Chain A
Amino acid sequence: MNAATQPRPQPQTPRDEAYNFAYLDEQTKRMIRRGLLKAVAIPGYQVPFGGREMPLPYGWGTGGMQLTAAILGAEDVLKVIDQGADDTTNAVSIRRFFARTAGVATTERTPEATIIQTRHRIPETPLHADQIMVYQVPIPEPLRFIEPSETETRTMHALNDYGVMHVKLYEDIATFGHIATAYAYPVTVDERYVMDPSPIPKFDNPKLDMSSALMLFGAGREKRLYAVPPFTRVTSLDFEDHPFEVQKWEHSCAICGSHDSFLDELILDDQGTQSFVCSDTDYCAQRVSQGRAGQ
């Protein structure tokens, strides 16, 4: 269930010399690195890159892994999370992949990591300036569900023409009475590009705004990468009469008692008994180790 008990020590594995450092070849890394520099210079703009086949299927974080491989150095400390958890299959596999191909140190502690690759969450612990977040992105184009043509969406980005996005959010209000988008909630970066923040819950959107850490986004199947530099304004789209707001829970975490973290709902039996626990396992474990506990 939740890794709230004892922190597992991460053994440092020797690098597997059969692979180039961090798996990718140097020319691929250079291509991705040049793309990343342009992505940082044009915040929120999707840079096409020559995505490579990785030894795992699309949808398992191939985009994020290629970015991590391109930026990773021998001195880095890598943390990988999947839906906030360090101990799920995707997170464990990717962490082991880089421990083996790059020989880097890994950690589950957010403050100790220099690179955090993530699927669908931003850690609850505030990030600092020497950290880089790498997001795994399935569909990088926020307009794709409205306009299937890449030529058209590229033109819309070029012309700063995002009216259709507001129409979609308005249709939510017309149908449900509120903006029903709960994850991958579109944002405007530095008052210019509309960007998909990857499928993080909208709860995490405010953490993108003026963050101290550099944010990099990689979509392997779609072969796009983009970035939000530190201290960049990131605003969630909304309306004056329907302002953006994040999820709230009446419950608190059953393990650490936190009232303000993102909670996962667990169904405990056939009668539908619910329990709520933190999605961020490291945050939860730290609170428990500091002596805080649930009811």
Chain B
Amino acid sequence: MSTSLATESLPASLLQPAFADPVLDAQRSFRAALKALAGPGVAQSLLATQTPPHLEGLAAASHALCLALLDIDTPLWLAPTFDTQAIRANLTFHCGCPIVSDRQNARFALLDDSQLHDLSGFDLGNDRYPDQSCTLLVQLPSLQGGTQLAWHGPGIESKNHVSLPLQEAFWQEREARNDFPRGIDVFFVAGSELLGLPRSTQVMFKPQQSRPQQSKGAA
């Protein structure tokens, strides 16, 4: 029976509850996101009581951000890892967001670390309306464990030292696509934690002993 269903009409059995308190849990998730973006590099935690029930494949904070920010006005692009029936069914049902296959049309995108070497196609906004850019939600196994980099810019008093487990290719992609005020805003998510990286943040590459030829020196 289930095989006869068209992909568009998703089986109701995949659906599961979203926020226990749709109003206040969405507000709390948003405030965490606002604080994360207004203080780049400082991880914010969502409490277990305010995150939605586990959805296979999504970290608690990714799920909470989707429920808090997406609706019919925000086409979503899913990386292949997240393009499962359960995720499609639940986000379509609870948020009502269109899921698009073309990066250019997405206002939000859900990525994992396998996608970060190529950020082409996402809308960067334009000089008159830089706010029309796509926001990336990047789900990582952890928010620590990578090379330590110094971030500075608006929201950071002097410097924040952040060691996200990212390949250098990501930073080169970001560098190449950021042309302030156009640019990419990213939320990095792991478990119930999130960390913001707005386009306004400058990332300093310290010379590393392990990699003597540091290519991209930001500012």
Contact = CB atoms under 8 A, between A and B. Distances in A.
Interface residues on B, range: 35 or more
Contact of B185 (A38, A47, A70): A38
Contact of B34 (A27, A192, A193, A214): A214
Contacts of B153: 190
Given A192-B180, A231-B156, A232-B154, A41 B128 contact: no
A42 B199 contact: yes
A21 B131 contact: no
A41 B37 contact: yes
B157 A42 contact: no
Interface stretch (B8-16, B19-27, B142-150): B19-27
A36 interface: yes
A71 B35 CA distance: 11
Contact of B23 (A21, A36, A228, A233): A21
Nearest to B67: A30
Contacts of B100: none
A116 to B, nearest CB: 15
A34 B22 CA distance: 17
B203 interface: no
A227 to B, nearest CB: 8
Contacts of A48: 129, 131
Nearest to B187: A37
Interface stretch (B69-77, B109-117, B210-218): B69-77
Contact of A155 (B28, B37, B39, B128): B128
Contact of A42 (B23, B27, B200): B200
Given A30-B69, A192-B180, A37 B33 contact: yes
Given A26-B23, A37-B135, A41-B37, A73 B71 contact: no
Contacts, number: 112
Nearest to B135: A37
Interface in B50-73: 68-73
Interface in A10-35: 20-21, 26-27, 29-31, 33-35
A36 B34 contact: yes
A30 B131 contact: no
A30 B22 CA distance: 12
Contacts of A40: 34, 37-38, 155, 198
A70 B154 CA distance: 22
A187 B24 CA distance: 35
A20 B131 contact: no
Contacts of B38: 40, 214, 227, 229-230
Given A37-B135, A40-B38, 15 more contacts: A26-B26, A33-B30, A36-B34, A41-B198, A42-B181, A43-B154, A45-B131, A48-B129, A72-B27, A73-B24, A158-B126, A229-B38, A230-B39, A231-B155, A232-B154
